[in-house]
């Protein structure tokens, strides 16, 4: 908490840190230490589809990304943090209550959505679009909550806000498939059940270009199809 407070003070007082990146560093440190201490570091493929700014090998062109992944476990958060070096999470307001992660999200000015409150939804949409227009990438789990059985939801069940933001701002969508986290820590578990031993895998797919003529449903369907292609049979959406 002292570290978080120090980073918050630095991000608040430093004119060069306009995106509160000091706070984001604290959540990345938390995520990496969590995975290493539990033996759950993921195997990652597809670095060629991610800009160098996020640790990938693709040349940076300054265009922001909307990184979209399936959500089967609490472990998905620290796992996807390994490919998002400088970003904001578009997340449920409840995550703001999680120790260490919560303060870094709130103080880092991440868009936190309370879907029961229309004003909150509008505010988070504007906040997300503002970040994208500033060139800051966003990360989201469009299912809205963790899967109860590890399977990916249907395309129709995905929340449309992230896709609307991407189209409105012209951001690319980067689909990400996360496999194996449900087996290590299902929704019913409070802690990881075992080390992953290489079972957690993350696949970064090629970016999807967006344009004004594209509908949210069209973009959601294409993203859903791509994410599904990188999941094992046990995590495939049911017909």
Which of the listed ranges 44-48, 132-136, 212-216 does the model predict with the highest average pLDDT? 44-48
**Cα 179 to Cα 228: distance, rounded to the nearest angstrom:** 10
pLDDT of 5 above 60: no
Extract the tokens encoding 149: 């059985």
pLDDT of 9 above 50: no
pLDDT tens for each residue of 37-92:
999 999 999 999 999 888 889 988 888 899 999 999 999 999 999 998 778 888 88
pLDDT of 154 above 80: yes
Res. 96 pLDDT band, cuts 50 70 90: confident
pLDDT tens for each residue of 164-184:
999 999 999 999 999 999 999
pLDDT tens for each residue of 105-128:
777 788 888 877 788 788 888 989
Sign of CA dihedral 74, 173, 175, 17: negative
Over residues 153-170, the mean pLDDT reads 93
Extract the tokens encoding 8: 């918050």
Predicted confidence at residue 16, as pLDDT, reads 40
- The pLDDT mean for the chain works out to 86
Sort 203 into a burial class: Cβ within 10 Å, 0-12 / 13-18 / 19+.
buried
Print burial letters for 159-197: b (CB count within 10 Å at least 16), e (below 16): bebbbbbbbbbebbbbbbbbbbbbbbbbeeeeebeeebe
Q: In what order do the strands lie in the sheet with 201-204?
A: 43-45, 201-204, 172-179, 65-69, 137-140, 87-92, 112-113
Predicted confidence at residue 15, as pLDDT, reads 39
H helical segments located in 39-90: 76-80
Predicted confidence at residue 139, as pLDDT, reads 93
| Percentage of residues in the chain having pLDDT higher than 90 | 54
Over residues 1-15, the mean pLDDT reads 45
Taking Cα atoms as reference points, which of 43, 71, 82, 74 lies closest to residue 199? 43
Predicted confidence at residue 100, as pLDDT, reads 65
**Contact call for residues 147 and 60 (beta carbons, < 8 A):** no
Predicted confidence at residue 12, as pLDDT, reads 44
Predicted confidence at residue 10, as pLDDT, reads 47
């Amino acid at each position: 908490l002292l570290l978080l407070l120090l980073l918050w003070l630095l991000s608040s007082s430093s004119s060069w840190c306009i995106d509160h990146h000091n706070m984001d560093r604290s959540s990345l440190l938390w995520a990496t230490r969590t995975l290493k201490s539990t033996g759950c570091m993921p195997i990652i493929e597809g670095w060629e589809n991610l800009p160098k700014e996020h640790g990938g090998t693709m040349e940076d062109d300054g265009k922001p990304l909307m990184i979209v992944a399936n959500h089967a476990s609490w472990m998905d958060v620290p796992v996807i943090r390994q490919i998002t070096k400088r970003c904001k999470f578009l997340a449920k307001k409840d995550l703001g209550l999680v120790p260490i992660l919560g303060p870094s999200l709130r103080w880092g000015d991440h868009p936190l959505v309370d879907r029961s409150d229309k004003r909150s939804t509008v505010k988070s949409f504007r906040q997300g679009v503002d970040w994208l227009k500033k060139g800051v990438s966003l990360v989201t789990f469009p299912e809205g909550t963790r899967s109860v059985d590890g399977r990916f939801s249907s395309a129709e069940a995905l929340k449309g806000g992230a896709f609307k933001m991407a189209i409105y701002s012209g951001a690319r969508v980067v689909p990400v498939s996360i496999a194996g986290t449900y087996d290590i820590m299902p929704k019913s578990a409070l802690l990881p059940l075992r080390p992953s031993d290489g079972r957690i895998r993350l696949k970064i797919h090629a970016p999807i270009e967006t344009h004004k003529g594209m509908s949210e449903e069209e973009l959601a369907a294409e993203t859903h199809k791509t994410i599904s292609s990188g999941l094992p049979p046990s995590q495939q959406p049911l017909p």
